[in-house]
Structure 1
C-alpha cells in the first residue's frame, strides 16, 4: 500500500510539497503544493504544460500530470515545512515515455524480468564560484595541485558541513568530502543504492548544493568545464548488479574480481559509449572536458579513448574493487535519470548479446594512447555524439525511436542557437553563451 502523504504531512508538520520532475535537459521543474491539497495530487498529479519545459511537445498538447512517488519523499533539512517529491509524468492516462524518470523505470523493469537489480553510486563534482560566475569563490585557492588541500577545504567548512549534515540527517550515509583537482572544486560521496533511488538523490543533491551555496552568499556549478585551464566537473558512476543480497558482478576467482555477467554488461557499455555520450556528456561545454589537453594540475582526469582497466584513473572505465566498475565518462551536466538509464540500457544489451569487452589495458592512457591507434575514440563535439545516437539502432530500440528523436531534436535546436553566435574551439576560452546556458545545469 502506498504511503499516505496527507497523513505524513500531519505527522512531520510539512506545510508544503514540491512536486518535481526533471525534463530531458536535466532541469528540475516543480509546483509548490499546500499540504491540505496533497491527497488529490497524490492520486491525480500536479498539472504541467509540456511545451513549457525541455520536452518535445507543443502548446496544443494536453497537460501532463506529475504523479508523486511517496517513496522519494525528502523533508528539506534546512526547511522542515517543505517536502520534496520526485514524480513520474503522465499524459492522457499513460506514462510519458520521453520523460527521464519514466525512461529509467522502463529499463529497470527489463532488468527486473531477470530477477536482477542495478545498484549504483555517483561522485558529483562541483565548483564554488562567485555569484556572477566569473571566478572561483576562494581567491586564496591558487595551488597548481590543490587536490585534497586541507586549508582550502576547511575555509569552506561551514558550507560543506551543512550539506554533509543534511545527508546524514536524510540517511544517505555520506562518508567523505574533499577538495578536488581544480581550484575551487569539491566532491562529496554518499552510499550507493538501487539506481532509481540514486538518481532521485542525485537530483536532490544538485538542488541542495546550489541552495545551500546561495545561503552562504556563493554559487555552486556542476558545469562540465567552467574554466578552461582547470579540471572539469565529472560525475563518475559506480555500478553493480544484484540478485537479492548477492552481488552478481563479483567473482573471487577472476583477476579483477568480476564475473562473466559483469564483463558482458561492461562490454555493452563499451560498445555503446560513443553513442551514449549524447546523454553522458549532453552539453556543448561537455566536449571541453573529454579529449581535453592537460590542465593546470597536469592531467584532465577525464577520458579520451574507450578502454577499461584495473585500478587506473586514466581509462574510461576502471575496476577499483572486485564486484563493481567505475564509469568515468559522465560529467556534471548529465541528467541524473538518463545517466542511470543509459548505463542500464547498454548493460542490458551486453547481457543479451554476451558482448566481450576485450582485455583490460594496463597502461597510462594519457601517455600511451598512441600505442593503441585502433582504440575507439570518444566524440569531439555534441553534434558527433548526437549523430552516433541517432544511428545506434540498439539504443533506439531500447528507449524507443520517438524518444531518441525528441532528445536529438531539442539538443540540436540548442546547438544551432550556439552556432549562430559562436564557434566551438577547445583552444579558446569558454564562451559567454556556454556560461549563460550551462552554469546552472
Structure 2
C-alpha cells in the first residue's frame, strides 16, 4: 500500500467519514458512482470494485461484462455537504480496467491519459483552464416548455435583488473545499446565466475538476432552491453556454507557447498548435459539441464560433489569443471557444490536444488572423477568407468525424465506434420529431 492510500484510510478514520463515492464517467460524459464504506476501501485499493460493464453506455458487451473500477487515491476529496444525519462523505475518481488489470479502452480517463502521454513523448505537458457557463433556472421539469431563468441580469451585473451573487459565493466555497481553485465568477450575458472560471491544471486533473464542478453546481443550486442546467442553448433568444478552454504546452518549467521576440509573443510551436486545431476543427466538433442542441449555439452567432478562424482578442473566432498578459511568459496561451459546457471533458480535451499536436508534428502553417466579426460574415465571405465552416448540425458533425483518422486514433477504435453509433441514434431520434415550429407553420396547409 502506498502513502497516498494510507493517507486516505487514515483520513477516513480521523474524520469519521461514513461513505466514499467512487466516480467514473461513461463515454457520453454521464457521471457514474458506487458508494463503499471505509472498511471495504483497503480491499478496493488492492483489487478494485467489480461491476457489470455491459450496463454502462459503451463499456463492454454482455459476454465480456466483468469490469473493474480502480480508485485513484490522488483524487480523494471530502464533500462540503453533510448528510441529513450529519455524516461526512468523500469521493475518488476511478480508472476502469479489465479483470486481467489492463486499462479499459472504453474509459474516457484512459483516453485522455493516452493523449497526454503522446504529448509527453514530444516533451510537452498540457495545461488547461476552462471558463464554464451555465444557467440557473427555477426548475428543470418543464414538460418541454422553456425554463424560467432565476433573474434578468446581464454581463457582469451585480444585482441586489436576485440570488446569483449568493449562489456563486456558495458554489466557489464548495469548489475550493474540494481542492478546485477558482479564478473568477460573474453573471454572464443572458438572464440566469453564470460563469465560473477554474484555475489552470494539467488536462487530466482539469477533466476530473469539470466533472466535479458540474456535480457541485447542481447540488449548490438545489440547496439554494433553484436548478442548474449545462444545456448548451436552452433559450432561443439568448446566448448559449460555452466552455471556453484555455490551453498551453510546457516544456519542463518553460511555456512552449511563448516567444518574446514575436510580435504577438507567440512561438512557432503555438502557431502550429493553433493551425492544427483549425485544420481539424470540423472533424473534432462532434466531440467538443456532442448534442443536437449544441448546434443551436454554434449557428446563433452569439460569441459562438461559426468557422475555424483565429484572432488576437477576437471573440468571434474559434481560437482567440488573449492579449491581457502577452508579455508574461507563463501566461501565454490560446483560448478555444467552440466547446460547450455539456461535452465530455476527457474526450474533448483529447481531440483538441490531438489536433494541436498533429499541427506541431506536421509543421502546419498558421493562416492570417481574422480581424473582423466572423459571425457577421456571409458564408461566401468566409469561404473567400479561407475559413472552414464548423458543422451546422450534429448530422454534419458526425459525417466529418466518421472520415477522421485523427479522431479515431485519439479516441481509440472502441470509443470512436460507440460514440458514433450512440450519436447517430440520437440524431435519428431527433430527426423523427414533429416540432411546434412545424405545426405552427405547416398545419394549415
TM-score scaled by structure 1? 0.90
Q: Does 1:172 find its partner at 2:180? A: yes
Question: How far off is 1:424 after superposition?
Answer: 11
Mark the runs of 5 or more structure 1 residues left unpaired by the alignment.
Answer: 294-299, 430-441
Per-residue CA distance 1:71-116 (angstroms, 9 max, x = gap): 1112111237111111111123221112211100010111112232
Per-residue CA distance 1:177-197 (angstroms, 9 max, x = gap): 111011110011121111111
Q: Does 1:49 find its partner at 2:59? A: no
Q: Which moved more, 1:50-59 or 1:255-264?
A: 50-59
Supply the distance in 1 between the matched residues of 2:371 and 2:66 (Cα, whole angstroms).
53
> How many pairs were matched up?
419
- Secondary structure of 2:68's match? strand
The match for 2:127 among 109, 119, 122 is 119
Q: Which residue of 1 aligns with 2:202?
A: 194
Q: Does 1:371 find its partner at 2:381? A: yes
- Secondary structure of 1:147's match? coil
Q: Which residue of 1 aligns with 2:214?
A: 206
Mapped contact 2:314–2:370 kept (Cα < 8 A): no
Supply the distance in 2 between the matched residues of 1:56 and 1:424 (Cα, whole angstroms).
36
Per-residue CA distance 1:382-429 (angstroms, 9 max, x = gap): 121111111012222333333311210111122222223346989x99
Mapped contact 2:310–2:320 kept (Cα < 8 A): yes
Q: Which residue of 1 aligns with 2:408?
A: 396
The match for 1:6 among 5, 9, 27 is 9
- Secondary structure of 1:126's match? strand
Give the 5 Å matches for 1:42-191.
42-55=45-58, 57-79=60-82, 81-93=88-100, 94-131=102-139, 132-133=141-142, 134-138=146-150, 141-142=151-152, 146-151=154-159, 155-191=163-199
Mark the runs of 5 or more structure 2 residues left unpaired by the alignment.
Answer: 327-331
Answer with 1 or 2: which has the greater Rg.
Answer: 2
Question: How far off is 1:117 after superposition?
Answer: 0.4
- Secondary structure of 1:284's match? coil
Supply the distance in 2 between the matched residues of 1:422 and 1:28 (Cα, whole angstroms).
31
Q: Which residue of 1 aligns with 2:310?
A: 308
Supply the distance in 2 between the matched residues of 1:127 and 1:14 (Cα, whole angstroms).
32
Supply the distance in 1 between the matched residues of 2:414 and 2:81 (Cα, whole angstroms).
40
Mapped contact 1:98–1:406 kept (Cα < 8 A): no
Supply the distance in 2 between the matched residues of 1:173 and 1:142 (Cα, whole angstroms).
28
Q: Which residue of 2 aligns with 1:235?
A: 243
1:11–1:347 Cα change, 3 Å: farther
Give the 5 Å matches for 1:326-341.
326-341=335-350
Q: Which residue of 1 aligns with 2:329?
A: none
Mapped contact 2:347–2:411 kept (Cα < 8 A): no
Q: Which moved more, 1:170-179 or 1:215-224?
A: 170-179
Give the 5 Å matches for 1:311-326.
311-321=313-323, 322=326, 323-326=332-335
Supply the distance in 1 between the matched residues of 2:20 and 2:218 (Cα, whole angstroms).
19
Q: Which residue of 2 aligns with 1:435?
A: none
Supply the distance in 2 between the matched residues of 1:65 and 1:117 (Cα, whole angstroms).
28
- Secondary structure of 1:67's match? strand
Supply the distance in 1 between the matched residues of 2:434 and 2:420 (Cα, whole angstroms).
20
Mapped contact 2:27–2:415 kept (Cα < 8 A): no
Supply the distance in 2 between the matched residues of 1:153 and 1:9 (Cα, whole angstroms).
41
TM-score scaled by structure 2? 0.89
Question: How far off is 1:168 after superposition?
Answer: 2.9
1:415–1:327 Cα change, 3 Å: same
Supply the distance in 2 between the matched residues of 1:74 and 1:313 (Cα, whole angstroms).
36
Mapped contact 2:111–2:410 kept (Cα < 8 A): no
Supply the distance in 1 between the matched residues of 2:11 and 2:34 (Cα, whole angstroms).
19
Q: Does 1:225 find its partner at 2:230? A: no
Per-residue CA distance 1:28-86 (angstroms, 9 max, x = gap): 00001111111111222222322322215333322211111111112111237111111
- Secondary structure of 1:257's match? coil
Supply the distance in 2 between the matched residues of 1:368 and 1:382 (Cα, whole angstroms).
22
Mapped contact 1:239–1:326 kept (Cα < 8 A): yes
The match for 1:36 among 34, 39, 52 is 39
